[in-house]
């Protein structure tokens, strides 16, 4: 575990989220009653040499908050890791626990808020409090050249991340859209609908659509 990982997983800065992540970890969901929940902040995961960064919203209560790995253990993650495998970024199509052998190549996955929020909705204060962790994470990922922003929240988080890291605001403010690509220094933004069930069950985001975005990210960094 890196120093940053050690520090972030000990963070207790947001009282509401600390209470929620720990309550969920105590009460559990019946299907996971035998499991020890992680119940702490979730560090990012992947290849430290990654040129592609995937930026999500926040851990799911019974997904990453249970397993301790970003996007791991829920349907959004199942959808995402299958796509990462099809497009060559992951060595296996599933991610089920912190020690399941998953390895990513040229890709790092993280979330803008690191603790599971009630109703998947962090407050603006919680969102802003967590941002410096991602700024520091980016400092440890010097090769990142494109950020795949999952949903409007991921897109806005990426814009905040830029300014928090000392880069000038982009004018006019780029608007989120699925497939929107905004090249900028030091990294581009690439918009993608979030692989949440409300998008994947309704067909708003299909596997080919997600594959296409991930392939474009790969082509962007290796033209």
Residues in contact with ligand DU by CB under 6 A are: 159-160, 163, 169-173
Q: Which does 13 bind (CB under 5 to 8 A by kind): ligand DU, ligand SF4, none?
A: ligand SF4
Mapping DSSP onto H, E and C, the string for 152-208 reads HHHHHHHHHHHHHCCCCCCCCCCCCCCCCEECCCCCEEEEECCCCHHHHCCCCCCHH
Helix (H) or strand (E) holding 210: helix 207-221
- With a CB cutoff of 8 Å and minimum separation 6, the contacts of 51 are 106, 143, 144, 145, 146, 221, 222
What spatial distance separates the first Cα and last Cα of the chain, rounded to whole Å?
A: 33
Q: At 78, list the tokens.
A: 């199942």
23: Cβ–Cβ under 8 A, 6 or more apart, which residues?
none
Q: Which is nearer to ligand DU, 96 or 170 (CB)?
A: 170
From ligand SF4, ligand DU, none, interface partner of 129 (C-beta below 5 to 8 A by class)? ligand SF4
Please identify, using beta-carbon distances, which residue of 104 and 188 lies nearer to ligand DU: 188
Among 4, 5, 7, 11, binds ligand SF4 (CB under 6 A): 11
Residue 57 interacts with, from ligand SF4, ligand DU, none (CB under 5-8 Å by kind): none
Residue 129 interacts with ligand SF4 (CB under 6 A): yes or no: yes
Q: Out of 14, 83, 109, 157, name the contact with ligand SF4 by CB under 6 A.
A: 14
Interface with ligand SF4: number of residues (CB under 6 A)? 15
Residue from 177, 192, 167 nearest 54 by CA: 192
Q: How far from chain centre, in Å, is Cα 192? A: 12
Q: How far is the CB of 182 from ligand DU (least distance, A)?
A: 10
Stretch of 10-18, 101-109, 161-169, 180-188 contacting ligand SF4, by CB under 6 A: 10-18
| Least gap, CB of 40 to ligand SF4 (angstroms) | 8
β-strand partners of 110: 55
Taking CB under 6 A as the rule, does residue 137 contact ligand SF4? no
Tokens of residue 20, six digits:
């929620």
Binding site for ligand SF4 (CB under 6 A): 8, 11-14, 17-18, 41, 113-115, 126, 129-130, 133
């Amino acid at each position: 575990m890196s120093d940053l990982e050690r520090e972030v997983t000990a963070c207790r800065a947001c009282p509401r989220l600390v209470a929620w992540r720990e309550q969920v970890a105590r009460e559990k969901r019946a299907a996971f009653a035998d499991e020890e929940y992680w119940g702490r902040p979730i560090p990012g995961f992947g290849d430290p040499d990654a040129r592609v960064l995937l930026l999500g919203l926040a851990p799911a209560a019974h997904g990453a908050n249970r397993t301790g790995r970003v996007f791991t253990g829920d349907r959004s993650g199942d959808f995402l890791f299958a796509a990462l495998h099809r497009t060559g970024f992951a060595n296996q199509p599933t991610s089920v626990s912190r020690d399941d052998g998953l390895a990513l190549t040229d890709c790092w996955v993280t979330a803008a808020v690191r603790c599971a929020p009630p109703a998947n909705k962090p407050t603006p204060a919680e969102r802003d409090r967590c941002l410096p962790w991602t700024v520091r994470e980016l400092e440890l990922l010097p090769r990142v050249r494109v950020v795949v922003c999952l949903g409007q929240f991921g897109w806005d988080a990426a814009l905040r991340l830029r300014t928090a890291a000392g880069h000038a605001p982009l004018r006019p403010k780029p608007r989120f859209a699925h497939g929107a690509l905004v090249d900028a220094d030091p990294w581009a933004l690439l918009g993608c609908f979030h692989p949440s069930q409300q998008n994947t069950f309704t067909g708003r985001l299909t596997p080919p659509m997600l594959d296409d975005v991930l392939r474009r990210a790969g082509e962007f960094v290796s033209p």
